[in-house]
Amino acid sequence: MKETPFGKYLLVGRLGGGGMAEVFHARLTGPSGFSKDVALKLILPQFSDEPEFVKMFIHEATLAARLDHANIVRIYEFDKIEGRYAIAMELVDGKDLRQVFARAQELDRRIAIPEALAIAYHVCQGLAFAHGELAEGAVPVVHRDISPHNIILSKAGEVKITDFGIAKLASASGFTRTGVIKGKVSYMSPEQARGEPVDTLSDLFSLACVLWEMLTGQRLFVGDSDLAVLERVKQAQVPPPSAFRREVPPELDQILLKALQHDPAQRFPGATTLGTELDKLLSRCSDVNRVTLLVKLFRDLFSGTERHEGTPLLQLPEELPKTNAPAAPSLLLAQTLIEPVGPDAATRIEEVSPAPRRSNLSRWTPRFLAVVALVSSVALGVWWSWRSSSTTPSVGEEEPRVAALDGGGNGVVDAQPSPRLTGALQGGTSSPSDEPFHTDGGELRAAEEQAPALDGGDLGARDAGPPVIAQPVKPRDGGSSPAERAPDGPVAKKPPTSSPGLLNLNAIPWARVYHGKRFLGETPIEGLSLPPGDYVLWLEAADPRMSRKIQIRIQSHKTTQKVVDLRP
């Protein structure tokens, strides 16, 4: 793979990314053969011209750089290279736990109890440092997204926490970020699922969810949609892992049930305390040291597979986009960016099978061809007879009618109009909220009670009653209600449903986002799939004076990016 110069770095390949940044495998070279591989996180070009987002990105780098610990991915430097802000981070030669789980399932190998305890212990050590438990006067940093995707196991037996990008200073008041990341709701704490302020104990609950999954081989909180999962998280009804794996000792059941208490006050007071309990149990379960256990686990799972360093590399683009080219990415690119980094991210290349060759006509015998010709002629005669008899409609039979939308170009043919189409024929409109919201395979159904769209009034004040939602954009040709007309020619086919667009939304300070009565999550929301149309969203800040409505437009196959400053 050709290396691409980028400032003082050489970009080896693209590792993946999120909705607002992407990560590259980069190499720093110097005199006398000096070389160091790093992970280079670059802000996407369209955000480089957003001053508030750049502030948050710099804040993230400053925050993460303070966390210098063996169990946390290290930050080396922050810089602006060729117009793009960049963070150089430690490149870990390993796999994240999501990949570990998938490989273990593929090989039908359970993660041993001592291995699970060792991993959880090391995560506790990293969290204890980040939470300020190991140094007097340290400012606690809450990760807010402890999940298998953000815990890395190296082939050297190290365990590292990565991506403090959505963390916030526990004591910060005005410059905070929080978020709902795709597919991560299963690892939230109940207080986080309710949208309440969280502290370090929320991270411990999330870690306990990961440990429960390592022991049982399944997620603790599951559901048909993210909303269903959130409801289960809020209830926090936790069965002991021994109910799914008999060899789990009662002591471990007790530790996990305490760490997974619904009330934060009933959990372990800190990561240090939880780590101590796990280490005590580990010493009774195994006399093998933690590093040896984890090196063996990695070898058992990944020995003989592809390179371990980072994740599978994507080919670099011909030219990296510059800041002065802030065009929104295509839908395909946006889908790539919002997927988690890893082998099941949008890095998979589907192989197109060659079309089957046509059979050689020379194989067909003359006798068989004669039979085919005879059958074809009989079928043609039957069809012509039927066509002649059905040309004139029978008495009392009504021909199907075509409902034509204003503008005439997009006709919808339906002999028996559906309820939605019937409503349109009567002069009504269907709201975008009639369509499902997609969040990682789930659906957020629209509010049953709808309010009118914005009429250009003040967005800064909230009306009484439920948050306002918008009606879809009406046709721009100024026509009145759609009319019915008979087709002039052949009946048109029903057009395909419009493809959705994506929404990346952030707010300063963070806010809860509603569409109608439905809670969509906390900012930043990344990669939310919505049907095309105009929407009014309600951003509910911690300070009610900052709450406000915003109007957004979703376009098919496009990504809408928006950063809202709620500060007065």
- Give dist(CA 261, CA 241) in Å, integer: 14
Buried residues in 493-523 as b, exposed as e (16+ CB within 10 A): eeeeeeebbbbbbbbbbbbbbbbbebbbbbb
Count of alpha carbons within 13 angstroms of residue 168, beta-carbon side: 21
pLDDT at 255: 98
pLDDT in tens, 139-148: 888 898 899 9
Q: Residues, the chain, total?
A: 568
Go through the domains of the chain in sequence order and give each one's CATH number: 4-91 (3.30.200.20), 94-302 (1.10.510.10), 430-477+489-565 (no CATH)
Q: Report the candidate in 150, 274, 254 with the shortest Cα–Cα distance to residue 200.
A: 274
pLDDT at 248: 96
Helix ranges (DSSP H) in 320-466: 331-338, 366-389, 419-425
Q: 47: exposed, middle or buried (C-beta count within 10 Å: 0-12, 13-18, 19+)?
A: buried
Both tokens of 200, joined, read 């370090």
pLDDT in tens, 91-127: 999 999 999 999 999 999 999 999 999 999 999 999 9
Three-state secondary structure call for residue 6? strand
Q: Could you write out the three-class secondary structure of 54-92?
A: HHHHHHHHHHHHCCCCCCECCEEEEEEECCEEEEEEECC
Global pTM reads: 0.56
Three-state secondary structure call for residue 311? coil
- Give dist(CA 499, CA 115) in Å, integer: 45
pLDDT at 427: 35
| Per-residue confidence in pLDDT tens, the chain, 568 aa | 578 899 999 999 998 876 677 899 999 988 888 999 999 988 888 777 778 777 777 877 787 788 999 999 999 988 889 988 888 999 999 999 999 999 999 999 999 999 999 999 999 999 999 999 988 888 888 898 899 999 999 999 999 999 875 544 333 323 333 344 445 789 999 999 998 889 999 999 999 999 999 999 999 999 888 889 999 999 999 999 999 999 999 999 999 999 999 999 999 999 999 999 999 999 999 999 999 999 999 999 998 765 444 444 444 444 555 554 333 332 222 222 222 333 333 322 233 333 344 444 444 444 544 544 555 555 555 455 444 444 444 333 333 333 333 333 333 333 333 333 233 323 333 333 333 333 333 333 333 333 333 333 333 333 333 333 333 444 434 443 333 344 444 444 445 567 889 998 988 877 889 998 888 888 878 788 899 999 999 998 877 788 899 999 999 989 898 888 887 7
Q: Determine how many CB atoms are found less than 10 A away from the CB of residue 278.
A: 25
| C-alpha separations of 434 from 180, 437, 447, 460 in Å | 23, 9, 8, 26
Pairing status of strand 94-96 against strand 159-161: unpaired
